Structure 1
Amino acid sequence: MHVRVVAALVIAALGTVAVLLSPTSDARAGEAGAPAVIAHRGASAYAPENTLAAIDKAAQLGLSWVENDVQRTKDGQLVVIHDDSLRRTTNVKDVYPGRAPWKVKDFTAAEIARLDAGSWFSPAYAGTRIPTLERYMRRVEHNHEKLLLELKSPELYPGIEQQTLRLLGKEGWLDRGHLGRLIVQSFSSDSVRTVHDLEPEVTTAYLGTPSVAQLHDYARFSDLINPPYGALSKGYVAAVQTFKGPHGRQLGVFAWTVNDAATAREVAAYGVDGMITNKPDVVRSAVASG
């Protein structure tokens, strides 16, 4: 009897260790079995998107996951911004009036550091800056958050996959303690495949809605399929989840961008594994209440 009890405890302990060491162990884990809630560009309904203020706000709301977008400056620095132009979310037209169309790739990191990335959202955020990815990663770590990192428009930035992975490694995000807190995604299937080939342990996600016939191919290099919620159905989610990804686990589905309670409940009923949202507190409350 004693031997059987000890054996059972050992097996249970080994199972726990296996889960903890799994690079995707946290990727589908929401609160009390509910879908994970991912703060889109940070808590972007309440603070300027893709800024340190937005991820701080997500942390204040008690959110585990934040999402961001990564691009590259003229002098090769990785920065966190969604649009390939600086125009919408900064005062670039005022600071550099003669440099239309104000593409991120046409400005150095020092030039971008001069821009106000907060006033467009609210005067309360005047002087907020576009963060470098390095600074952003350190704030995510400080906040004990998890990161859904999007490689934005990788066709504009050859080699951005390797460069991003090097920085993640430098910041310690490719060790066992961090792999369960990191997902790298892109709208480019080639970019997702490149990330998987370079660092097979990193959890990856494809942004889009491949046909069911294509899912077998995507499952070779992507752990999640992340479609817009309007393209989803219960049947499609179930079809995705019949496949196993490169880490031998069921493919996950994170839907975007869900911003109201009614939609959150509807999408949760499809069986998705997560929802990406500008209003993470609203979505979290909706899925928690059923």
Structure 2
Amino acid sequence: MKSPRVGKTPFLLNTPHRPLAGFPLAFSHRGFAPAGEENTVKAFTAATELGFGYLETDVHATRDGVLVAFHDEDLVRLTGDPRRVRDCTAAELAELRVAGEPIPTFEELLESFRSARFNVDIKAGPAAELMAETLVRHRAADRVLLGSFNGSRRHMASRLLAADDRTHQLATSPGIIGVGAAVLIGAVAPLPRAVYGSFAALQVPETHGKLRVVTPRFIQRAHDASLQVHVWVVNDAPAMHRLLDMGVDGIMTDAAPTLAAVMSERGHWPQNSLTR
């Protein structure tokens, strides 16, 4: 099967002549958080210690304009606090804990994990502008891939980065573009370049309702468009092996030790030493 591991996307290290050439990528979804400490420095440290070089996270903006790594719109599930992230200042969030761990800023993650690559879901509009500013300030656009369920957030960050004379490939929106791509690529016709031109990868669930998104035909059509296929969230070893045998280019998981073991069995591990 033809592989899309070509192109100039700095984030993707599994392209020819790069450290992970020919390897599928392993993404630790919100870090490795067995005690529920998702999206914390502890969780991402645990993932890198397992061998992960690719980390998935989410970002919101605080009331005073600080980018924080947090998934939910509100704080209830993880901290018990009823407020929304956007209604809190960074100082107020610093007082809260997720399974005993502080909520990190995104800048803290960039500084703490300098050799890691981050796959980031932009969860709110104000976070898009802050993300672009942060990537420029830290010169980190080459190690961050942006996605969002809201396309305007991606496009805003892209425009701001382009205005700074930086190049940055964006991931497709998981879910929205995933389902659309399943129709365009898998069922009807090759994906038009006007649709995929600014994307580096299709990041999709294996299934969406009754629709099977990831199939050999879907992967081939994506590869024909020079797009990688990253599948989320896959947590059992048989499914991981099946998808890798099918030819996907990356897997995101909440079961970090399981994916690490599968990748090791297939000779694709560790990946953290190769992302430096």
TM-score (normalizing by structure 1) = 0.75
Distance 1:256 1:52 in 2: 22
Q: For the structure 1 residues 47 and 289, does the alpha-carbon distance in structure 2 shift closer, same or farther, using more than 3 Å as the test?
A: same
Question: In structure 1, what residue type is equivalent to 2:85?
Answer: V
Q: Kindly indicate whether residue 218 of structure 2 is the aligned counterpart of residue 241 of structure 1.
A: no
Distance 1:66 1:286 in 2: 17
Does the 8 Å CA contact 1:30/1:274 hold for their aligned counterparts? Answer: no
Identity of aligned residues (%): 27
Look up the match of 1:246. Answer: none
Whichever of the two has the greater Rg, that structure is 1
Q: Deviations over 1:62-115 (max 9, x none)?
A: 1111111000112221111001110111132xxxxxxx4x21111111111111
Cα deviation, residue 151, structure 1: 0.7
Q: For the structure 1 residues 58 and 46, does the alpha-carbon distance in structure 2 shift closer, same or farther, using more than 3 Å as the test?
A: farther
Q: Deviations over 1:26-59 (max 9, x none)?
A: 1567967331100101123466110000110011
**For 1:58-73, what aligned pairs fall within 5 Å after superposition?**
58-73=47-62
Cα deviation, residue 170, structure 1: 1.3
Look up the match of 1:23. Answer: 10
Aligned with 2:171: secondary structure?
strand
Does the 8 Å CA contact 1:224/1:254 hold for their aligned counterparts? Answer: yes
Match for residue 151 of structure 1 among 115, 122, 130: 122
Q: Kindly indicate whether residue 132 of structure 2 is the aligned counterpart of residue 165 of structure 1.
A: yes
Match for residue 103 of structure 2 among 127, 130, 151: 130
Q: Kindly indicate whether residue 24 of structure 2 is the aligned counterpart of residue 35 of structure 1.
A: yes
Look up the match of 2:202. Answer: 225
**For 1:1-290, what aligned pairs fall within 5 Å after superposition?**
23-26=10-13, 33-45=22-34, 48-92=37-81, 100=82, 102-118=83-99, 126=100, 128-141=101-114, 144-152=115-123, 154=124, 157-158=125-126, 160-174=127-141, 179=142, 181-200=143-162, 201-206=167-172, 207-208=174-175, 209=178, 210=180, 211-212=183-184, 215-216=191-192, 217-230=194-207, 231-243=213-225, 250-290=226-266
Question: In structure 2, what residue type is equivalent to 1:224?
Answer: A
TM-score (normalizing by structure 2) = 0.78
More displaced 10-residue stretch of structure 1: 203-212 or 106-115:
203-212
Question: In structure 2, what residue type is equivalent to 1:115?
Answer: L
Look up the match of 1:4. Answer: none
Distance 2:227 2:236 in 1: 25
Does the 8 Å CA contact 1:91/1:116 hold for their aligned counterparts? Answer: no
Cα deviation, residue 269, structure 1: 2.1
Question: In structure 1, what residue type is equivalent to 2:121?
Answer: E
More displaced 10-residue stretch of structure 1: 226-235 or 55-64:
226-235
Cα deviation, residue 138, structure 1: 0.9
Q: Give unmatched runs, 5+ long, in structure 1.
A: 1-18, 93-99, 119-125, 244-249
Q: Give unmatched runs, 5+ long, in structure 2.
A: 1-5, 208-212, 267-276
Report the number of matched residues: 239
Aligned with 1:58: secondary structure?
helix
**Alignment RMSD, CA only?**
2.4
Question: In structure 1, what residue type is equivalent to 2:243?
Answer: V
